[in-house]
Chains A and B, each alone.
Chain A
C-alpha cells in the first residue's frame, strides 16, 4: 500500500510542480518563498477541513456540513466575543473546537444510531446549521469593529516567519499523520471503510468509528470556523458558502477513495494545495475564474480516473504470483 500511495502522491507532487512551473514561466514572482508562504497560509483552512473530510470519507461516509458547521461555529464565537470581549482567546479556541465537535457528533449519532445515509444526514444538518445562524442573528453581520482586537489577531500573528494559521495547519498535518498511522483509532478508520463486514468480525464497531470520524471532522470545522471569521474579521450567514464541495474535491484529487478505505493525510494536503495554487495563481496570470472552476473540475475527474485505473488491475494478481514463484 505504501508504494501505491507513494506513487499516487508523487504523481500529485509532479502535477503541482508542473503547475507551478507553468505559472512561474509567466509570472516568476509567484514562486518567491514569501508568496508561496502566502499561498500556503491562504490554503490552510482548506487543508484543515480536507484532513477531517478525508477521515470521514475513509469510513465510507461524507460530511457535507463542514462549511455550514464552520460558519455556525464562527458566528457563535463571534457573538460570544461581542457579548464578552474579555473572554480569553484560548477559551474561544477551545469553545470553537468543542462546539464544532458537538455538531459533528450530531451527524455521527444520526449515522451510527439511526443508520441514515451520511449524505442525507449532512445535507440536512448543513441546511439546519445555516438556518441556525440566521435564527441567531436574523441575518445581521458581525463586523470587524464589533470584534475585539485580540479575537482578530490570532490567525495573523506571525511566529517564526509564518502566521499562526499556517502553524495550526502544519500542526494538524503532523498530529493526524500520527493518529492515522500510529493509533488504533486510525487503523479502525481504514478497516471500517476498507471492508465494514471484516471490520465488524474483527471486533471493530463500524458505526462508532464513523461517529468518531464525524466528531473529528466537526471539531476541525469548528476550529477553522473561528480562524476563518477572525481572519476575515466578519461573520455572516453565508460564510464559506459552498466550500464543502471544494473540501471534498481536495480529498478526491488527493487520492482519497470515495468508496472508503483508501486515503492519507499527505494526499488530502496535496489535494488541498493543488486547488489552493490554482485559486491563487490563475487570477495573477490573468485567467478568468471560470477557467479556474473548469480546471478544478478537470483535475477531479482526472484524479478519480487515475485512482480507478490503479484499483482495477486484474492482471496484477497473476504477475505477483509469478513474482513469488521466481
Chain B
C-alpha cells in the first residue's frame, strides 16, 4: 500500500521506527512520518490511531520508547516542550491553548518575550513584532487587545502568530478547522498556503477529506498505532484513504446475538438545541442496540445529555411507551426509565467516598425510602441483588467504592443503573480506555441487556464496536443526523463516509 514519497527536497523532519508504549497499550508501533519544507503532510486515522501521540512526541511532551527523530538528517532529542520550541517545532491545537486574560502580544510571546534592560520584558518591541507577524498572516488584530474579546477565528490566528513568533520550521495543525465557520476555513486555507510559501513544513491533522485534498501534498495513514501507508496526495482518492483508515477486517470478536426486537419504547421527535444539535428524530425498540456514530464533536453526547435532562432542548418531544413525557431533570429521566452511563465514569460514575450499597441505591432511593426516611434493609437487599448479578466481588457492601479496582468500580456503576430497572439505557463510549479483555465483557453484557428486553443506545467512536454490536446505527455530523443505517448497511466505509460528509458515500 505504501508508495514512496517523491520530492525534490530533503525532509525537514523525519520520524523513523518510533514506538511508544503505555501500560497495557502499544500506542505507536514502529511508525514513521516525513515532513518537507514548504509542503503540507496530512496525518489521517481514526480515533485512537495514534495521531495525538505523534503530536505529543514531536512537541516534547512524550518521549518515544524506540526510534529516531531526525531534523535535517541529524538525530535530535526533544525532552521537553521548550526543547521542541527551540528546535523549531510548534503546534496549533484543536482547542487553542491560550490565555484569555492576557493581551494578544503577551499571548504571542509568552515564554519567549523580547527582553530589554535588567531582563525586563520589552513591551514596545513585543508589540511591534506582534504587529509584524499578524500583518504577515493577514490578520487585522490589535496586539494590545485582550484575548477574551476576540472571536474563535481570531484566536486561531493569534495561535498561529504565536507559532510563527518562535521562527518555527515545523508547524503542526491539529484539527484547526474544527471550530471555524466556512468563511474562516477559507481564510485558513490561504494562510496555510502562505506558510508553505515561507518554507514551513506543515503537519495537518484532520478528519475532513475535503480539506485534506485541498491543502495537503502528502499523506500518512495510521491505524491502531501502526503506519498503514504514505505517499503523495495526487496518487490517492477518498475511497483509498478510507480503506486504509478502517482496514478491511474487523479483528475483534463480538458476541453472537440474534436480535429479538420488540415494541417501540422511545420515540424522539425533532429535538433541537440552540447550539449543539438540531432536528434529531428517531425511535428505539425493546431488545434493540442502536449505535450512535460520529466524529468527536458531532453532538452525540450533547444530545444524550439533553435527552437525559441534564441540559434543556429548545424544541422537540419525547414519547416513552407511547406516552408523551417531559424530561426536565435527570430525576425525571430516571423516573421514566431512561438511564445514562456517562463516558467519564471516574468523574461522573461512582462516588468513591460512599460504600458500595449507597452507590448502587443512589438513583433508586425513592424505592428504598418512605417519606424521606431510608430503609437500610431494603437498600442492602437491592444492592446485594444487583452486585451478585454482576458477579462483583467485595469483602462487604460497606466497602468504600474508592477502595475497589477499576473493573469493580465499573460494575458498581452498572449495577447502580440496572437497579433502577430502566427501559432505556444509554451507554456513552462504554469501552473507551479499557483493555481488550474487559471490552469483551462489556460487549457480552450489553448483548445480555438487549436480550432481556432493554433498549440500548450505544454512543461509540470505535468503528469495530459499532459494526459488531449495533442493530441499527445513526450517524451524526455537525449536530444533525447524517444517516440512519440498517443492519446490512453498517460497514466501516459507510460509517466513515457519512460521518466525514463525503460528497458521495463510499
Which residues from A are CB-within-8-Å of B329? 203, 205
Tell whether, in the assembled complex, residue B351 and residue A199 are in contact, meaning their CB atoms are under 8 Å apart.
yes
Nearest A residue to B330, CB-CB? A203
With both chains docked as a complex, state the minimum distance between the C-beta of B321 and any C-beta of chain A, in angstroms.
19
Q: Which of B348, B372, B374, B376 contacts A198 (CB 8 A)?
A: B348
Cβ contact within 8 Å between A4 and B400? yes
Residue contact A194 to B342, C-beta cutoff 8 Å: no
Given A197-B348, A202-B416, A324-B393, A187-B353 contact (CB < 8 Å) = no
Contact A202 B374, CB 8 Å, known A1-B353, A191-B354 = no
The answer to whether B348 and A190 have CB atoms under 8 Å apart is no
A182 engages B354 (CB within 8 Å): no
Interface assignment of A317: CB less than 8 Å from any CB of chain B: yes
Q: Could you tell me the distance between the alpha carbons of A257 and B400 in the complex, rounded to whole angstroms? A: 16
Q: Complex Cα distance A102/B40, Å?
A: 64
Identify which of A181, A186, A195 contacts B351 (C-beta below 8 A).
Answer: A195
Q: Nearest 4 pairs between A and B by C-beta?
A: A203-B331, A197-B348, A194-B351, A202-B363
Residues in chain B near residue A201, CB distance under 8 A: 308, 310, 330, 340, 342, 348-349, 363
Contact of A190 among B347, B353, B366 (CB under 8 A): B353
Contacts of A261 in B (CB 8 A): 351, 353-354
A205 to B329, CA, bound (A): 8
Asked whether A190 and B374 contact (CB < 8 A) given A184-B369, A317-B405, the answer is no
Kindly state whether residue B352 has any CB partner on chain A within 8 Å. yes
Contact of A191 among B310, B344, B351, B395 (CB under 8 A): B351
B374 touches A184 (CB 8 A): yes
Residues of chain B in range 330-382 having any CB-CB distance to chain A below 8 Å: 330-331, 333-335, 340, 342, 344, 347-355, 358, 362-363, 365-366, 369, 372-374, 376
A257 to B351, CA, bound (A): 14
| In the complex, chain A residues whose CB is within 8 Å of the CB of B405 | 317, 320-321
Let me know if A194 and B353 touch, CB within 8 A. yes
Asked if A200 is at the interface (CB within 8 A of a chain B CB), the reply is yes
Contacts of B366 in A (CB 8 A): 184
**Known contacts A198-B349, A202-B362, A321-B405; is-contact A1 B355 (Cβ 8 Å):** yes
Distance, CA A323 to CA B353, complexed state (A) = 20
Q: Which positions 390-420 of chain B face chain A at CB distance < 8 Å?
A: 393-395, 398-400, 403-405, 416
Residues of chain A within 8 A of B400, CB atoms compared? 1, 4
CA of A195 to CA of B310, assembled, Å: 16
Distance of A286 Cα from B350 Cα, bound (Å): 51
Q: Which residues of B contact A320 (CB under 8 A)?
A: 395, 399, 403-405
- CB nearest neighbor in A for B407: A321
State the A residues within 8 Å of B (CB). Answer: 1-4, 181-187, 190-191, 194-195, 197-205, 257, 261-262, 316-317, 320-321, 323-324
Q: Decide if B350 touches A195 in the complex (CB within 8 Å).
A: yes
Instruction: Looking at the assembled complex, report how far the CB atom of B426 sits from the nearest CB atom of chain A, in whole angstroms.
Output: 10
Q: Which residues of chain B are near A200, meaning CB under 8 Å?
A: 310, 330, 348
Add 4 more A-B contacts to A1-B353, A183-B374, A195-B352 (CB < 8 A). A187-B358, A190-B353, A203-B333, A320-B405
Residues of B near any A CB (own CB < 8 A): 308, 310, 329-331, 333-335, 340, 342, 344, 347-355, 358, 362-363, 365-366, 369, 372-374, 376, 393-395, 398-400, 403-405, 416
Residues of B within 8 A of A202 (CB): 330, 334, 362-363, 416
- Bound Cα distance A2, B330 (Å): 29
Asked if A324 meets B352 with Cβ closer than 8 Å, knowing A183-B374, A184-B374, A201-B340, the reply is: no
In angstroms, Cα B394 to Cα A324, docked, is: 7
Bound CA–CA A255/B342 (angstroms): 31
B131 to nearest A CB, angstroms? 39
Chain B residues near A186 (CB-CB < 8 A): 374
Which residues of the other chain, A, contact B355 by a CB distance below 8 angstroms? 1-2
**Hey, which chain B residues are within 8 Å of A317, CB to CB?**
403-405
Q: Looking across the interface, which residue of chain B has its beta carbon closest to that of A318?
A: B405
B331 contacts A199, C-beta separation under 8 Å: no
- Chain B hits for A182, CB < 8 A: 373-374, 376
A190-B334 in contact given A203-B329, A320-B403 (Cβ < 8 Å): no
CB distance from B357 to the nearest CB of A (A): 11
Which of B353, B399, B416 has the most chain A CB within a 10 Å cutoff? Answer: B353
Name the residue on B nearest A257 (C-beta).
B353
Which residue of chain A is the closest to B335 with respect to CB atoms?
Answer: A203
Closest residue to A324 on the B side, CB-wise? B393
Q: Which residues in A have their C-beta under 8 angstroms from that of B349? A: 195, 198, 201
How far does the Cβ of A312 sit from chain B's closest Cβ, in whole Å? Answer: 11
Question: Nearest Cβ in chain B — how far from A263, in angstroms?
Answer: 10
What are 9 A-to-B residue pairs whose CB atoms are below 8 Å?
Answer: A1-B400, A183-B372, A183-B374, A190-B351, A194-B351, A197-B344, A203-B333, A317-B403, A321-B405
- Contact at B365–A184, with CB atoms within 8 Å? yes
Cα A24 to Cα B350 with chains together (Å): 47
B331: which A residues are within 8 A, CB to CB?
203-205
- Contact check, A191 vs B362: say whether CB atoms are below 8 A apart: yes
Which residue, of B362, B372, B399, has the highest number of chain A Cβ atoms within 10 A?
B362
Cα–Cα distance between A183 and B404 once the two chains are bound (Å): 26
A182 to B370, CA, bound (A): 11
Q: How far is the CA of A259 from the CA of B333 in the complex (A)?
A: 29
Option from B344, B354, B363 in Cβ contact (under 8 Å) with A194? B354
Chain B contacts for A199, CB-based, 8 A: 351, 362
A130 to B335, CA, bound (A): 44
Contact across chains for A195 and B358 when beta carbons are under 8 A apart:
no
Q: How far is the CB of B320 from chain A (nearest CB, A)?
A: 16
Closest A residue, CB atoms, query B366: A184
Return chain B residues, CB-CB under 8 Å to A197. Answer: 342, 344, 347-348
A156 vs B253: C-alpha distance in the bound complex, in angstroms? 76
**A201-B342, A202-B362, A324-B395 are contacts. A183–B353 as well, Cβ < 8 Å?**
no
Smallest Cβ-Cβ distance to B361: which chain A residue: A187
Complex Cα gap A321–B394 (Å): 9
Cross-chain contact B373 with A183 (CB below 8 angstroms): yes
User: How many Å from the CB of B34 to the closest CB on chain A?
Assistant: 42
- Chain B residues near A187 (CB, 8 Å)? 358, 362, 365, 374
Complex alpha-carbon distance, A185 and B366, angstroms? 11
Alpha-carbon distance A2/B355, docked complex (angstroms):
9
